[in-house]
């Protein structure tokens, strides 16, 4: 009789503890994703404003102006061009980095709709995509003008969304380990309670 009661209590404790841990895991996942997206949005907006200081469109072509003897400026331009894509009003590609080409090949519909989305929103917009290896990126797309201000061009820059995903994966493994240990822990708790309760 006591053994049956102990088994039932162990099952209850295990179920409750597992639900608490899994619920916490779910809430933390959502919070991490929202935080990461907000941080990436903020960084991309700053990158977009920085880009307009280095990139000039002259005679229908993009030109990057920077002091390449300055290590900081050189690193900034290299970062901006790492996942950079630019097209003219007809959709002709004017500059395409290898990383952006990989993203475009894996998410062609997203890039095909950039011009329409920018015109519809009237400003920059961001969207989440994945490269050919499934690595998540956040893209920011917007409109640029040439030196005369008369011609429209459309560009996108991106940042990987990987740091928090790795952190979350490691943290999730720890939670799952805790869930797997919940049964023996629950059994110990039941035995302690049985000794306390005469």
- Tell me the pLDDT tens digit for each residue of 6-54: 666 666 767 777 777 777 777 777 777 778 788 888 999 999 999 999 9
Cα separation, 37 vs 31, whole angstroms: 10
The per-residue pLDDT for 63 is: 94
Q: pTM, whole model, 2 decimals? A: 0.69
- Name the strand (E) or helix (H) holding 137: strand 136-145
Cα separation, 4 vs 12, whole angstroms: 13
- All domains in the chain, ordered by first residue: 14-196 (3.30.450)
Helices (H), the chain: 2-54, 71-82, 98-106, 108-112, 114-121, 163-180, 182-196
Evaluate whether 162 touches 149 at the Cβ level (below 8 Å): no
Cα separation, 133 vs 146, whole angstroms: 35
Residue range 141-155, pLDDT digits in tens = 999 998 888 899 999
Per the listing, tokens 């980095």 go with: 97
Residue range 49-84, pLDDT digits in tens = 999 999 999 988 999 999 989 999 999 999 999 999
In the chain, what percentage of residues exceed pLDDT 90?
A: 26
Cα separation, 25 vs 82, whole angstroms: 34
Cα separation, 142 vs 150, whole angstroms: 16
Q: Which residue has the higher pLDDT, 191 or 24?
A: 24
């Amino acid at each position: 009789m006591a053994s049956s009661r102990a088994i039932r209590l162990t099952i209850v404790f295990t179920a409750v503890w597992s639900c608490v841990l899994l619920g916490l895991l779910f809430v933390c996942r959502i919070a991490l994703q929202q935080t990461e997206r907000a941080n990436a949005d903020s960084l991309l907006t700053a990158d977009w404003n920085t880009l307009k200081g280095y990139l000039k469109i002259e005679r229908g072509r993009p030109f990057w102006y920077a002091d390449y003897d300055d290590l900081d400026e050189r690193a900034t331009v290299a970062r901006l061009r790492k996942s950079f894509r630019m097209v003219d009003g007809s959709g002709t590609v004017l500059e395409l980095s290898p990383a952006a080409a990989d993203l475009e090949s894996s998410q062609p519909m997203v890039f095909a709709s950039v011009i329409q989305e920018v015109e519809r929103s009237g400003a920059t917009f961001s969207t989440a995509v994945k490269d050919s290896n499934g690595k998540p990126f956040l893209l920011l797309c917007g409109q640029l003008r040439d030196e005369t201000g008369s011609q429209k061009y459309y560009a996108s820059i991106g940042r990987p969304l990987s740091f928090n995903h790795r952190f979350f994966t490691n943290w999730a493994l720890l939670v799952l380990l805790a869930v797997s240990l919940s049964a023996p822990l629950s059994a110990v708790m039941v035995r302690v309670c049985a000794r306390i309760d005469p």
